[in-house]
C-alpha cells in the first residue's frame, strides 16, 4: 500500500488514517468496495467500475458522492503518490454511530476511503495456473461488491493451503465464479461463462472480455458450465482487474486441453493488451 491515502476528505499518511471502532464497516461489514486498475495514470474502464459501485451502494441504501467526486479523488491520489501503474481501492461504509446497533438509530455520514497499491503491468501471455474445485459456501447476494468477504477468504485460503492459485466454485453442480475472479470455459470454439445473477459478481473485466470475444467473432454463451463437463473442456481461463485474462491448465489433478494456454485464450490475452493500449493511450 502506498504512503498517502484519502479518508473522509483528508489526505493522510497511511499509518495516520483512523476510523471509529463503531464504524459499521468494522462492526457489521456494512459497506462496499471497488478496485480500479490504472495504467500510466489512466484509470481503465473507470466509468464501468464506478457504475458498479453505484449499484452496490444502491443495494445497501447507502448515500455517497458520485462518479465525478471519485474521478477527482483518483486523479489526486495518483498525483500525491507519484504512481503510474496502480490498483485503486475504494471503500465506502454506512458510517459510525456512538454505539453498536444492528439497525441504525440516527442519521450518519458515510465513511469514504481510497488508497493505492502498485500494479506490476505485464504485456506478455501469462503462464497457466492451477485451480481447485470447491463448494461455493458464500451468501446469496454475490452481485453486491460487499466488504463482507469472509466466505471468499476462507475459500481462497483453502485453495492456497493446497497449493492452488484460485478456487473454482460450484453450486448445485454448476460453476459460479472464483473467490476474486470470474471463470470462462471454451469447448468446440464456443466461449462459456456464468450468466449475471445474484450468484456472481458482475465483473468489469468479465464484461470487457465478453465484448472482446464478440469483436473477435467468437461465439459467446452466458451459460453456466457444469461440473460434470469439466473433463471435456478445451480451455479454461479466469478474468479479474488484477490478473486480466489468465489461462488455467489444471483443475486439481485434471489437465485442461493440452495443459497449455489454448488458442482462444491466447487471442483474448492479446486483445486485452491491445485494448489497454488503445483505451489508455499507451504508446
Give dist(CA 267, CA 252) in Å, integer: 25
Output the CA torsion sign for 272, 208, 237, 83. positive
Catalytic residue among 145, 156, 276, 278: 145
Place of cell 455517497: 64
**156: annotated active-site residue:** no
Q: Assign 77 to helix, strand or coil.
A: helix
Give dist(CA 63, CA 92) in Å, integer: 10
Place of cell 470447491: 134
C-alpha cell at 115: 488508497
Question: How would you classify the pairing of strands 129-135 and 111-118?
Answer: unpaired
- What 8-state DSSP symbol labels residue 14? G
- Residue 229 exposed, middle or buried by CB count within 10 Å (0-12, 13-18, 19+): middle
CB-CB contact of 185 with 233 (8 Å): yes
Catalytic residues: 145
Amino acid at each position: 500500500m502506498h504512503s498517502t491515502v484519502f479518508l473522509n476528505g483528508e489526505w493522510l499518511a497511511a499509518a495516520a488514517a483512523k476510523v471509529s471502532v463503531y464504524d459499521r464497516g468494522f462492526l457489521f461489514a456494512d459497506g462496499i468496495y471497488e478496485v480500479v486498475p490504472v495504467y500510466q495514470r489512466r484509470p481503465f474502464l473507470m466509468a464501468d467500475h464506478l457504475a458498479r459501485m453505484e449499484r452496490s451502494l444502491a443495494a445497501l441504501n447507502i448515500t455517497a458522492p458520485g462518479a465525478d467526486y471519485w474521478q477527482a479523488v483518483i486523479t489526486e491520489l495518483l498525483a500525491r503518490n507519484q504512481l503510474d501503474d496502480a490498483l485503486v481501492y475504494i471503500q465506502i461504509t454506512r458510517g459510525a454511530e456512538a454505539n453498536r446497533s444492528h439497525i441504525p438509530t440516527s442519521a450518519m455520514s458515510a465513511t469514504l476511503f481510497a488508497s493505492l497499491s502498485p500494479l506490476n503491468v505485464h504485456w506478455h501471455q501469462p503462464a497457466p495456473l492451477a485451480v481447485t474445485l470447491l463448494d461455493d459456501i458464500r451468501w446469496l447476494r454475490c452481485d453486491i461488491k460487499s466488504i463482507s468477504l469472509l466466505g471468499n477468504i476462507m475459500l481462497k485460503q483453502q485453495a492456497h493451503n493446497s497449493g492452488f492459485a484460485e478456487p473454482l466454485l460450484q453450486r448445485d453442480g454448476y460453476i459460479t465464479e472464483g473467490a476474486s475472479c470470474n471463470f470462462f470455459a471454451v469447448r468446440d470454439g464456443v466461449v462459456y461463462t456464468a450468466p449475471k445473477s445474484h450468484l456472481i459478481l458482475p465483473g468489469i473485466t468479465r464484461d470487457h472480455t465478453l465484448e472482446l470475444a464478440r469483436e473477435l467473432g467468437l461465439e459467446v454463451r452466458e451459460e453456466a458450465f457444469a461440473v460434470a463437463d469439466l473433463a471435456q473442456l478445451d480451455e479454461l481461463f479466469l478474468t479479474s482487474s488484477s490478473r486480466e485474462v489468465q489461462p488455467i491448465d489444471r483443475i486439481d489433478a485434471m489437465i485442461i486441453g493440452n495443459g497449455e494456454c489454448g488458442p482462444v485464450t491466447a487471442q483474448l490475452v492479446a486483445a486485452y493488451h491491445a485494448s489497454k493500449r488503445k483505451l489508455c493511450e499507451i504508446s
